[in-house]
Structure 1
Amino acid sequence: MRRALAAAVRDAVRSGSLTPGTRLPSSRQLAADLGLARNTVADAYGDLVAEGWLTARRGSGTLVTDRMITRPTLVPSDSEPSGEPCYDLIPGNPDLTAFPRAAWLKATRRALAAAPDDAFGYGDPRGRPELRAALADHLARARGVYANPEHILICAGVSHALQILSEVLAGRGARRVAVESYGPDRHRTLLAAAGLETLPLPLDTHGTDPVPPDGTDAVLLTPAHQFPVGTTLQRDRRTAVVDWARRTGGLVLEDDYDGEFRFDHQSVGALQGLAPDRVVYLGTASNTLAPGLRLAWMALPPALAAEAMAAKGQIDSCEVLSQLTMAEFITSGAYSHHVRAERRRYRDRRDSLVTALAQHAPNVRVTGTPAGLHTLLSLPPGTEPRVLQSATRQGLKVAGLSRYRHARSRNVMTDALVVGYGVPSDTVWPDALSALMRILS
């Protein structure tokens, strides 16, 4: 703690947060603030005085030394970009410039005018009833989800939902959760934090084999558009994993993160519709609207709803005005209108990417279902590291497929890039696409 405190003060002086002449708290006061022994703080101050960072004066306290702090300067070269990368093609986010501000503001005004007084209290831990009812209706129409509003739980993002589910599973005595061989490492981390072991599922030319090994308590899938590989779970495999859940009493956690963005034909319905009593459906507004809203939802099997509500807490921890506005946005039809517009936007971007590759990089193949905010680009064997290095030099943020591989997976796919085309605005997208073509060609 003594070394950590000294290092923190040095960093603050170097960065300018503590300017020359700044008077520091007394050792007694800082020790009380940080919950440390006073001797620990006094010794750290003594070290810094001896090194010349601080000056101790009788009657004046401990001050930051009045001296010039030399900060290193980075001189950009032709091979290194200055500042942050120019274009962000990391998957997982939408075009934030497309957020429907005017329509959202109208919905906010209507929602506020109609909101009952009790809406501004601590609230039901499941979330506002207006939003749960609106979601139950919308999900039934758009995704084939069968859910009673009483069994829908509003969350602050899919990660929050997985935290809740991890606690529920661990409380039930679960030990193992099967996950896809390639997927977001943050999801695996959340499960592991609850003491759950994650087992990678087999992967073949048809995508994920979703039936987990014996002794597995739950399985986490992205069946509509596998992240990041991009496949859609086939009909026989959908049936097989549902049969497994019914036979063993296991749970299927369905992450439908971009299920409403299918481009070639109507979206495949959610897996939850096959077995509402065995599948937990996870949805989010992060891709269709914006992650900053912190709005996601779970459609829970009735037998799981009370436990999930208890794990979330005794009060609604999700901001009420966004919930009320989202409910109005859905029931007014504005949400469906927005989703249709965004589906066209992202379809056009994917089409332009496919066309550009055919012209400039014919050895790079687009794979996976035409859907969502990202696609997989298969590269010639052994080229992924070199392509990523080139992207860094060109000021382009892009992810390699290997980044998402489960450490214990026996399946190693060919070199590939996971390209997200959601983040750049309409005006920036052509330049971002040109930068990507320079790297791949």
Structure 2
Amino acid sequence: MPKPWATLGVDLHLEPSGPGLRRGLTAALREAVRTGRLAPGTRLPSSRALAADLGVARNTVADAYADLVAEGWLTARQGSGTSVATGLPAPPPGLWGSPPPGPSRSSPASREWGSGASGSRGSSASVSRERPVSGARERPVSGAWGTPAPGSVGSPASGARGTPASGEWENPALGSPAFGSRGTPASGSVGSGASGSRGHSASGPWASPSARSSAGPAPGGRPPGGQPPGGRPPSRPAYDLVPGSPDLSAFPRTAWLKAARRALAVAPYDALGYGDPRGRVELRTALAGYLARARGVRTHPDGIVICSGFAHGLMLLGQVLRERGLTTLAVESYGLDAHWQLLERAGLRTMPLGLDELGTRTDEVGAEERAVLLTPAHQFPMGGALHPDRRAAVVDWARRGDGLIVEDDYDGEFRYDRRPVGALQGLDPDHVVYLGTASKSLAPGLRLGWLVVPPSLAAEVVAAKGGVDWSCGVLDQLTLAEFITSGAYDRHVRSARLHYRRRRDTLVAALARRAPHIHATGIAAGLHVVLRLPPGTEPAALRAAAWQGLAVHGLHRYRHPEATVERPDALVVGYGTPPDHAWSAALDALCAALPE
């Protein structure tokens, strides 16, 4: 049974560095307080909880806390835990939650895009010496940055479908092969269709009639997956293993209702009117503090724009970039076609980058390409984290050529066997747009997401969204703000993390017993796993899954049509969606569908 402390406290992103673990942790905590990333009065996790998160001894954390209490940075009181001291000097202007001096972010930017680096990269940008970055590949020249067209950018058309995409490298320790040979696109999946979320079909997760008719018995009369001959696959899936959705039965209804009541009771009257297109200031303020503390994002409330999920945010960015004269945007070789289509509808061609055992080949982003879409913390669907060399390389590229990095952090809260990877935005806020969403941590039906935009893009993104906030419900924004500031969000995320880790462990154990020849990768974080199959067996595995009543996707479905990397056979299995009572039966059906 999980220890109760594992679900308490707040998430805290730290990357200790230095000659000793205790000294490194103490320095990381001190810097977080000094720069304002940890605001005065913030209650820190217990020493036991933080030690578990960081994978260090509890005494190491306790000693670091004691050192900082003695220095005056923290306060400790019996029964109240450890908190950031109040009355500390204000952080330097422009860091974390404090807006820098200068014009308001709601007014047009007073300088050109990307003028100036953001300072030092910090400990998370330390460059690994494992492997050098190789040379870049030549590309067609894309449109250079232009100046925005006179007047505001038009508001996006409503109703476009699509949701967060992601991308990262497969950890060599988990058995990922290197990619290299050219392949052609394939759409093999059970449940393919117009995508409305990360991996899910807009019209439901089941296959089309033509796909079902092709899933008939194998030669010789024996249908795939061991099902009885002569039958047909079920008309509807019994189990949904399509990645992209959390366990909706675990939504914290009681805590959310309490937060909604509290938020509505104290909301000002003008909150119910036509709002600021950036979103409610209460939510932007809560997010600025949370993202700084938990994900290492450097921003302030005026730098955040609330949107209706990742797809809406990507639509806004696509409009702005096209208005600036951009014609090409680099993307990862594997991701969501719905996102590529959103960008293409905005007039941007997507160019896939290479992929190898270190992740996306960010060194292939040429000088003529001015923007790149990445998922550096947890790639979808491959499931790894972008190597530090590659993170440093893409930030250097953006600084040298005034480029823009679009960072999709779709499930950064869920990590199990490794320390959390900080947001790329923290390395250079002037050249990274950070997109986050509540779709995985809470529920996609909330339709709440956020963009953290550089100062030079803020006015154009707000103009693209429209003169009033027509897309995001005020009550949900106020409720989420209260949910975050009260600590309920942190408690829910920690509880969900334990829940999904147990799911992941059960899946891995079942594979070890019943299909030891199938290798699971991308298991250190997120809500899905990639099951590597023998070459040429992905189509048969999808047919067998249909016979077993499973909605599941093949890896080929997520491959960019112009990608030149190798095409491994695999299933992308989402373990977040099924409710607890159906999880055991879903595992049985999955193991029965796997090739022998």
Q: Could you state the TM-score of these two structures normalised by the residue count of structure 2?
A: 0.61
Aligned twin of 2:467: 314
Is 1:376 aligned to 2:526, yes or no? Answer: no
Aligned twin of 2:18: none
Aligned twin of 1:286: 439
1:22-171 correspondence runs (5 A): 79-171=231-323
- Per the TM alignment, residue 77 of structure 1 is displaced from its structure 2 partner at its CA by 8.6
Among candidates 464, 481, 490, match of residue 336 of structure 1: 490
Residue pair 2:234, 2:546 contacting (<8 A) in 1 also:
no
Aligned twin of 1:251: 404
Aligned twin of 2:413: 260
Aligned twin of 1:403: 557
Aligned twin of 1:352: 506
Among candidates 507, 531, 547, match of residue 393 of structure 1: 547
Inter-partner Cα distance in structure 2 for 1:99 and 1:419: 21
Residue pair 2:504, 2:523 contacting (<8 A) in 1 also:
no
Is 1:199 aligned to 2:351, yes or no? Answer: yes
> Which residue identity does 1:95 align to in structure 2?
D
Is 1:361 aligned to 2:485, yes or no? Answer: no
Deviation digits for residues 344-397 of structure 1 (CA, Å, limit 9, x no counterpart): 111111111111111111111011251111011110111000000101111100
Residue pair 1:93, 1:291 contacting (<8 A) in 2 also:
yes
Among candidates 361, 381, 384, match of residue 228 of structure 1: 381
Among candidates 341, 348, 351, match of residue 189 of structure 1: 341
> Which residue identity does 1:325 align to in structure 2?
T
Deviation digits for residues 185-241 of structure 1 (CA, Å, limit 9, x no counterpart): 011000000110100000112221123123212100011110000110011110100
Structure 1 spans left out of the alignment, 5+ residues? 1-73
Aligned twin of 2:430: 277
Higher RCO (C-alpha 8 Å, min separation 6): 2
Inter-partner Cα distance in structure 1 for 2:529 and 2:457: 34
Residue pair 1:225, 1:369 contacting (<8 A) in 2 also:
no
Aligned twin of 1:178: 330
Deviation digits for residues 75-126 of structure 1 (CA, Å, limit 9, x no counterpart): x995323331000000000000000000000000000001000000110000
Is 1:299 aligned to 2:452, yes or no? Answer: yes
Residue pair 1:223, 1:233 contacting (<8 A) in 2 also:
yes
1:1-16 correspondence runs (5 A): none
Deviation digits for residues 321-347 of structure 1 (CA, Å, limit 9, x no counterpart): 000000000000000000001111111
Residue pair 2:418, 2:524 contacting (<8 A) in 1 also:
no
> Which residue identity does 2:527 align to in structure 1?
L
Inter-partner Cα distance in structure 2 for 1:413 and 1:111: 50
Residue pair 2:282, 2:478 contacting (<8 A) in 1 also:
yes
Structure 2 vs 1, CA of residues 86 and 271 (structure 1 numbering), >3 Å: closer, same or farther?
same
Instruction: Give the superposed CA RMSD.
Output: 1.3
Identity value in percent: 62
Aligned twin of 2:574: 420
- Per the TM alignment, residue 426 of structure 1 is displaced from its structure 2 partner at its CA by 1.1
> Which residue identity does 1:261 align to in structure 2?
F
> Which residue identity does 2:568 align to in structure 1?
T
- Per the TM alignment, residue 412 of structure 1 is displaced from its structure 2 partner at its CA by 2.3
Q: Secondary structure at the match of 2:564?
A: coil
Deviation digits for residues 146-204 of structure 1 (CA, Å, limit 9, x no counterpart): 11110100000100000000000001101110000000101100000011010000011
Inter-partner Cα distance in structure 2 for 1:329 and 1:80: 47
Inter-partner Cα distance in structure 2 for 1:436 and 1:106: 39
Structure with the largest fraction of helix: 1
> Which residue identity does 2:478 align to in structure 1?
L
Deviation digits for residues 113-147 of structure 1 (CA, Å, limit 9, x no counterpart): 01000000110000000000000000001100011
Structure 2 vs 1, CA of residues 78 and 112 (structure 1 numbering), >3 Å: closer, same or farther?
farther
Q: Secondary structure at the match of 1:385?
A: helix
Structure 2 vs 1, CA of residues 362 and 264 (structure 1 numbering), >3 Å: closer, same or farther?
same
Inter-partner Cα distance in structure 1 for 2:379 and 2:358: 12
> Which residue identity does 1:178 align to in structure 2?
A
Residue pair 2:241, 2:550 contacting (<8 A) in 1 also:
yes
Aligned twin of 2:593: 439
Q: Could you state the TM-score of these two structures normalised by the residue count of structure 1?
A: 0.82
Residue pair 1:176, 1:215 contacting (<8 A) in 2 also:
no
Structure 2 spans left out of the alignment, 5+ residues? 1-212, 214-227
Deviation digits for residues 383-423 of structure 1 (CA, Å, limit 9, x no counterpart): 00000010111110000000000000000231011000011
Is 1:214 aligned to 2:367, yes or no? Answer: yes
> Which residue identity does 2:457 align to in structure 1?
L
Inter-partner Cα distance in structure 1 for 2:358 and 2:508: 22
Q: Secondary structure at the match of 2:580?
A: coil
> Which residue identity does 1:294 align to in structure 2?
R
> Which residue identity does 2:405 align to in structure 1?
V
> Which residue identity does 2:240 align to in structure 1?
D
Residue pair 2:354, 2:360 contacting (<8 A) in 1 also:
yes
Residue pair 1:232, 1:369 contacting (<8 A) in 2 also:
no
Inter-partner Cα distance in structure 2 for 1:82 and 1:177: 41
Q: Secondary structure at the match of 2:362?
A: coil
> Which residue identity does 1:113 align to in structure 2?
A
Inter-partner Cα distance in structure 2 for 1:78 and 1:395: 16
Residue pair 1:175, 1:217 contacting (<8 A) in 2 also:
no
Q: Secondary structure at the match of 1:260?
A: coil
Residue pair 2:234, 2:547 contacting (<8 A) in 1 also:
no
Inter-partner Cα distance in structure 2 for 1:169 and 1:104: 36
Structure 2 vs 1, CA of residues 149 and 381 (structure 1 numbering), >3 Å: closer, same or farther?
same
Inter-partner Cα distance in structure 2 for 1:419 and 1:87: 11
> Which residue identity does 1:303 align to in structure 2?
S
> Which residue identity does 1:396 align to in structure 2?
L
Residue pair 2:372, 2:404 contacting (<8 A) in 1 also:
yes
> Which residue identity does 2:343 align to in structure 1?
L
Inter-partner Cα distance in structure 2 for 1:213 and 1:431: 48
